Structure 1
Amino acid sequence: MNVFYICIRNKTYKRFIEIIGITDVLLNDN
């Protein structure tokens, strides 16, 4: 159960980093 929670948390963390990267690119492009 704990490993499963860490796995989900890692996935959401990766997605969060991707979203920040996309917004950063959009801001820099603009």
Structure 2
Amino acid sequence: KRGADNKLICFVHPKDTSGVLMELCQEISE
């Protein structure tokens, strides 16, 4: 989904990453 600064964001749940919440961001090219 779109997040801050008009970037695509995705969250990875802590149960899948040994207790670490990960946020992945990607700039949208125009």
Normalised-by-shorter TM-score class: under 0.3
Q: Which has the higher strand share?
A: 2
Larger Rg: 1
Higher relative contact order (CA 8 A, sep 6+): 2
